[in-house]
Structures are given as C-alpha cells and as structure tokens.
Structure 1
Amino acid sequence: MPTRYEPAIDLDAVEAIDVHTHVEADACGHHSLDTELMDASASYFKSTDLRTPTVDQIAEHYRARSMAAVVFTVDAATATGHPALSSEEIAEAAARNNDVLLPFGSVDPLQGATAVDRARRLVEDHGVLGIKLHPSLQGFAPDDTAHYPLYEALQELGAVVLFHTGQTGIGAGLPGGRGIRLRLSDPMRIDDVAAAFPELRIIMAHPSVPWADEAIAIATHKANVSIDLSGWLPRYFPPALVRAAGRYLKRKVLFGSDFPLITPDRWRDSFAELGIGDEARRLIMKDNAARLLGLDGGE
C-alpha cells in the first residue's frame, strides 16, 4: 500500500500558503511538458531560470521561507501526446515533506470513467486534497456534462478542484498556439459547474485575463468558488481585482505564485506594492487557504 499523505502543517510556523506550485520534473528527469511547450512558457513569463525542481527541492525552497505550498502536475496526455508525471509519486513525495507540502492530483478528463476511478484512488488511497484541471491544455470543455461524473465524485469525496482559467503561457507565441484553445478556460464555463455542484469547492486559478470581471462576478455569486492570484505579478492585476481582493472578496482570494515560473519571493514583493490592508493581506496569504483546505480545524 502507498504511504497515504496526511498534512502536518503547523499554521503558527508558516507565514503563507502558496496554493499554486507546479511540479515540472520527477526524480528521473522526466518533464511534464515537451521542450517546445516548456520553452514557450518560460519565454512568456520572461523566466531566465529554466530549472525544473523536483518535489523534494520544492519542499526545501518553501521550508526555507517558512511557507507551505500546494504541489501538482497536469495530466494532459491525451491532448498533448506527452506522458504525464505521476500524481501518485507526487503524493508520496509530499507525504515525506508533509510539514510544508499539500498534494493535489491531476487526471485526464478525456479518459472518462478511467479518470473518475483514478481521482477516487488519488483521494482515498493517496490522500491528495484536490485535483488540478487545465481545460485549455487538456483540451476539454469543463461545462460539458460528459465530465459531470468526475465532479460528482470529487464533491462526494470532499476534494477541492483547481481549474486553470484565462490566458496561458503554454503554447504562447507558437503557430496556432500549438492548438491550445483559450476559450476552453473562460471562467463562465466554471460558473455552470459551480451551479450544478454547489458543495464542490472550486478554485479558479489566475486573474482570468481577459475575463477578470467574469471571475470576480462568479466568486461573488457562488459561495463555493474562490480565486487564486497566481500566474501574474500583482502589479499587473486588473484594478477591479485589486479592489475586490482588498474589500468584498478578501475571504475568497488566495495567494498563489505559479512557481517555478514566478517565485513566491518575486510575487510577494510585488503584492506589497498594492497597498492592501493588513486584515485582507493576512487572509489572502494564509488564512483563506487554511480554511479551504481544512487545515484550521474548522475555525
């Protein structure tokens, strides 16, 4: 039997919880994307550091900063033809770093019932806290009812679903964007899912540009939907998102970096420029994630 992950995060010892960090390589040197897509993403983010840290290296990075981090990969094997990293191995690695890491799994929605069964195993046998989905990269429409059995299972299991929304650096600048369709990540598609599964905890990843207003409206309207602030340096956030995060959505937005393409240090330095008040800052950086992920004991 695999070692089942159990969190051991000391909330008094960590200053922040980053809910959006990518595992891009495993211990054997296999990568989550092919070289062309990885290079396009690095160019989009203007990242000169192309290292792809393993789960253990990610743990060291966050432990040194007194932070915790949600770690995951994306299983887009059907759409890209590139074999995915193992979510099971990521969960195992997180289990030996459970003082700072929180594992999410990923399944390929295009695999239908197989994806549903795997999601159940990842949650029940491996202890992952949620599932990461990337509609554009995985090539699926999240509001297609064909995928409702997956959401039904995750709602039943009490798992979080983290959906990529908006623009993506993956495929950016390549001919035809390598066939990756941005419209699949329109957050209004997530609104349909949130309405159909009201007990399913959903995180919409990123500021959802060019649909930031739509994402704000959904998070305001749907009690089960939150927004993570990853993938953009905060100085570039749409003004409406900054206002919402600091005021009426301060309990519905979460710190996320998009590590390794954006480091938590770089993100936090930029966030400090926004002038968001102390209460909202504390909620965004740690408390909202602790509550959503069940780390606070229901406080």
Structure 2
Amino acid sequence: MIVDAWMQHGTVRFLQHEMLDSLWRWTGQKPPAEEVPVEVTVGAMDAGGVDVGLISAWYGPEGDLVSNDEVASFVAAAPERLVGIASVDLRKPMEAVRELRRCVNELGFKGLRVVPWLWELPPTDRRYYPLYAECVELGIPFCTQVGHTGPLRPSETGRPIPYIDQVALDFPELVIVGGHIGYPWTEEMVAVCRKHPNVYIDTSAYTVRRYPPELVRYMTQDRHHKVMFGTNFPMITPDRALRGLDDLGLDDAAREAFLSGNARDAFRL
C-alpha cells in the first residue's frame, strides 16, 4: 500500500495563482486553463501505484484558493482513493476553529494544513494556537510546510528550529507533519523529529533522487524513522517522485513505514 501525504486537486484559481509561477517554470509545465477532472488525479495515482491520496484545501489572506467544500466534492467523486485535509482562515480564529470542527465532524476530513509562508506568519504566532488545541481535541494532525519556499514568498517561516520545535514543546500531544523535508534545514527537521515523538516529516515537493543525505541516513539507520511519502501533486507526479526508491537501501520495515505505515498512524487512516 502507498499513501501520498501531500497532494492537491487544484482549482483553476489556485493553479493559475502568480505565486506558483516559479514552480510551473521549474517543471516546464503550464497551469490548466479549465477545471481538471478528479479522474486525472486518480489516474496519476494509478500510474505511480498510490492507493490513497490526502488532498488539501488552501486558504490564504485573500480567501480560499481551494475551499473545504470543493475538497469534499473531490473526495466524494473518489471516496476510496482520496482523503480530505482542511484549511482555514487564520484572520478569524474562532470561525477557523468552528470550520475545522465542521470539516472533521461533518465532512470526514483527517487533518488540518496551514502553509505559513502564505500568511507570512510563523507557526508560533498566537493565531495558530486555538487551532492546535482543537486538533488535539479532534485527534487529527496539524500539517504544515518546512524548509524554503519554492513559490515567490519569504522562507523564514519554514524553519524547523525554533518554530516547529517550540510548537511541539507547547503542545506535546499534537501530531505535527512537516511537509517538504525542511531543506536547507533538513538536519534541524530530523533533529526535531527525533526529539518529539509526535513530529513527522513528509517528502512532498522532492523526488527520491533529490532527498538530502541526512534524510536518507535517518530513514535507513533509524528503525523507527517518522518519514512519510508525499508528492505535492500536481507539481510532481507519484511515478516521478518514487523513481529510484530501490536505491535508497531501505529494509522492508523502513520501506513500509515510509510508503504507508507512518501516514496511517499519523492520520488514523
């Protein structure tokens, strides 16, 4: 079984947003001019052998780019393959908490994702803290981005130390999934992951052949590593992301934890 921990089934307004121009340039692709059918995302999962994809809503200071209800409609089109991850508006903390509750209790979502660089607010900002408490109460993980930003936004908010480290100290029961590996602070992210039992790393936005050596060492040498597979689809397809997996040197237990076990634990799939 393979679980993709970070995917988007994007709307046109999300995929054509100017902040993603740099990513499209790197990939040599162009954003779609029309809404993409859910079958396209499921087809990409099939091509890469991915069984379950966690697709996220996107909210920023200008409003929703992929709304929670849109994500729910995508999941409804492929309920055996897609799982919803909520996002919320940080500017309205109580409304955000109520919306998160609705997403989990009524829509069946399995996590919350807030992308700090989109808000230019680090994860230690006070506006996140009611959401952390609610995540603990709901039994869902908080998913975020660590490392530099590919989009044209500042990278400082993606530092694992001090931000993720401090949040994990303040909320030891909170499950935190740091997406995008943490490069160029990968060693920091690995250290935070080893220090805090409920902190995980996902490999979205990187292909296997681009994993930093310190991440590979952690995955191959620590028998209880907490790294999970992710793509950041549609920027990277699953088949491309997993090319070269056999070259990592993972034993059977480490490979299973990476491809599905850690995600199943963190998201209670």
Q: Is the 8 A contact 1:233 1:271 kept in 2?
A: no
In structure 1, C-alpha distance between the alignment counterparts of 2:36 and 2:176, rounded to whole Å:
27
The answer as to 2:58 corresponding to 1:74 is: yes
The answer as to 2:248 corresponding to 1:287 is: no
Change (3 A) 1:83 1:66: closer
1:41 aligned partner: 23
In structure 2, C-alpha distance between the alignment counterparts of 1:60 and 1:151, rounded to whole Å:
34
The answer as to 2:114 corresponding to 1:133 is: yes
Q: Is the 8 A contact 2:44 2:238 kept in 1?
A: no
Alignment-mate amino acid for residue 158 of structure 1: G
TM-superposed deviation, 1:40: 1.8
In structure 1, C-alpha distance between the alignment counterparts of 2:8 and 2:211, rounded to whole Å:
21
In structure 2, C-alpha distance between the alignment counterparts of 1:141 and 1:254, rounded to whole Å:
23
TM-superposed deviation, 1:249: 6.1
1:7 aligned partner: none
Q: Is the 8 A contact 2:63 2:89 kept in 1?
A: no
Superposition map of 1:216-295 within 5 A: 216-248=190-222, 250-295=224-269
Same amino acid, percent of matched pairs: 30
Q: What is the RMSD of the two structures over their aligned residues, measured on CA atoms? A: 2.0
2:155 aligned partner: 182
SS state at 1:58 partner: helix
Alignment-mate amino acid for residue 62 of structure 1: M
Change (3 A) 1:37 1:202: same
In structure 2, C-alpha distance between the alignment counterparts of 1:82 and 1:150, rounded to whole Å:
18
- Structure 2 unaligned runs (5+)? none
1:23 aligned partner: 9
Q: Is the 8 A contact 2:141 2:175 kept in 1?
A: yes
Alignment-mate amino acid for residue 122 of structure 2: A
Change (3 A) 1:66 1:202: closer
Q: Is the 8 A contact 2:38 2:77 kept in 1?
A: no
TM-superposed deviation, 1:86: 1.3
Change (3 A) 1:128 1:242: same
Deviations 1:123-166 (A, max 9, x none): 11211100111101122121123321111111111111111111
- Structure 1 unaligned runs (5+)? 1-14, 172-179
Which 4+ runs in 1 deviate beyond 4 A? Answer: none
TM-superposed deviation, 1:66: 5.1
Change (3 A) 1:247 1:91: farther
SS state at 2:13 partner: coil
In structure 2, C-alpha distance between the alignment counterparts of 1:267 and 1:209, rounded to whole Å:
16
In structure 1, C-alpha distance between the alignment counterparts of 2:138 and 2:190, rounded to whole Å:
27
The answer as to 2:149 corresponding to 1:193 is: no
Counterpart among 198, 207, 221 of residue 181 in structure 2: 207
In structure 2, C-alpha distance between the alignment counterparts of 1:67 and 1:94, rounded to whole Å:
14
The answer as to 2:91 corresponding to 1:110 is: yes
Change (3 A) 1:111 1:53: same
Alignment-mate amino acid for residue 69 of structure 1: G
Deviations 1:41-73 (A, max 9, x none): 2123x2436447444432343246352111013
Q: Is the 8 A contact 1:34 1:82 kept in 2?
A: no
In structure 2, C-alpha distance between the alignment counterparts of 1:192 and 1:276, rounded to whole Å:
31
Counterpart among 128, 146, 151 of residue 147 in structure 1: 128
In structure 2, C-alpha distance between the alignment counterparts of 1:72 and 1:222, rounded to whole Å:
25
TM-score calculated relative to the size of structure 2: 0.91
SS state at 2:59 partner: coil
TM-score calculated relative to the size of structure 1: 0.82
